[in-house]
Structure 1
Amino acid sequence: MKSSVLAVALLSAATLGLSACGDSATEQPAEAPEGVPGLTITNARMVLAPVEGNPAAVYFDLAYDGERNLALNRAHVEGAGSASLHEYGEWNRQVQMQEMLPLVLTQGTEVAFEPGGKHIMASEVSPDLKPGGKTEVTLIVSGGDKTTFEADIRGPGEER
């Protein structure tokens, strides 16, 4: 009888010890830093189309100084129904706009998203987005990491 009481006491003590360990294991890890480490966006602007209902274009300067190689493969524009990465290329001896392949980012990469080159095409733009305002643009890289930045909204006749 004494051995069974001793066994129950030891088992209870062991269970309490394990549950105490479990409490410390449920602590939340520190949050990852906001954005993609090493990715810097400057000179961001969205230029609205001259014809209402047509897509807008988002331009910016990108610099990457991170340690990991990444690929920029998606974008989101707040207030647009959809957004895609575009560039100009040649097809059948004609220059035309096309969806951009993923952009490889290595340490030291600098890319201008500018008129006549790479840009984000924002379709189904909300009429709430007006010149003089701002919108949020999110770039998404391989693995799902994201960087969000503000872009000034410009009218069709303003500097692109």
Structure 2
Amino acid sequence: MKQGIAALALGLAGISLAACGETAEAPAVEETGIPGMSVTNARMVLAPVEGNPAAVYFDLSYEGERGLTIRKADVAAAESAVMHQFGEYDFKVQMMEALPIALTQGTTVEFKPGDLHVMAMGVSPDLKPGDTTNVTLTVSGGGTYTFPAEVRAAGEDR
């Protein structure tokens, strides 16, 4: 209720300024992404067999002041995506869903082959090597960070 009243007051203030011949400043655009987060070396490696999952790798750095947790990843050209990590279970190394990834100021995280990565399932068959697709990370609290990933063929450098 209070937000509605505040919005109405701001709207009326803008109208009254315009009526006096003055122009009101445009509202500030909310920053996209997550302050202090950056991603480099982003690439999506397609599966050798069409229809199988692709893997997304990248290097993430975080210099923000607030501690965050990456809780999920989405890939624009895929039906679904899951953060995976290799770990030992029942005396075997296996791929499993990754736990949320904690970030504090100065944290760097490598999403790389044989370790932490994003698996993209149901990848569009229209996506070809040389294309680019967007990857979105969602953190605790709902903030998101979106970055482009270069699409590579299965045999290319991962």
TM-score where L is the length of structure 2:
0.84
Structure 1, unpaired ranges of 5+: 1-18
Taking the aligned partners of 1:100 and 1:111, their CA distance within structure 2 comes to 13
Runs of 4+ in 1 over 6 A off after TM superposition: 19-22, 25-28
Amino acid at match of 2:118: I
Does 2:21 align with 1:23?
no
Q: In structure 2, what residue type is equivalent to 1:23?
A: L
Partner residue in 2 for 1:82: 80
Are 1:147 and 2:136 counterparts?
no
Among candidates 89, 92, 95, match of residue 91 of structure 1: 89
TM-fit CA distance, 1:128: 0.8
Q: Which moved more, 1:20-29 or 1:83-92?
A: 20-29
C-alpha RMSD over aligned residues:
2.0
Q: Return the alpha-carbon distance in structure 2 between the equivalents of residues 34 and 118 of structure 1.
A: 25
Q: Which has the larger radius of gyration?
A: 1
Q: What is the rounded CA distance, in whole Å, between the counterparts of 1:21 and 1:130 in structure 2?
A: 48
Q: Which runs of 5+ in 2 are unaligned?
A: 1-7, 16-23
User: What residue number does 2:57 align with?
Assistant: 59
Deviations 1:99-144 (A, max 9, x none): 0010000000001100001000000000011111110111110111
Give the corresponding residue for 2:21: none
Task: Give the structure 2 partner of residue 118 of structure 1.
Answer: 116
Match of 1:34 in 2: 32
* Residue matched to 1:105: 103
Alpha carbons of structure 1 residues 24 and 128: separation in structure 2 relative to 1, 3 Å: same
Counterparts in 2 of 1:151 and 1:23: CA distance versus 1, 3 Å? same
How many residues align? The count is 142
What is the identity percentage for the equivalent residue pairs of Structure 1 and Structure 2? 58
TM-score by length of 1: 0.83
Q: Quick one: structure 1 residues 54 and 31, their matched pair in 2 at CA, closer, same or farther if it must change by over 3 Å?
A: same
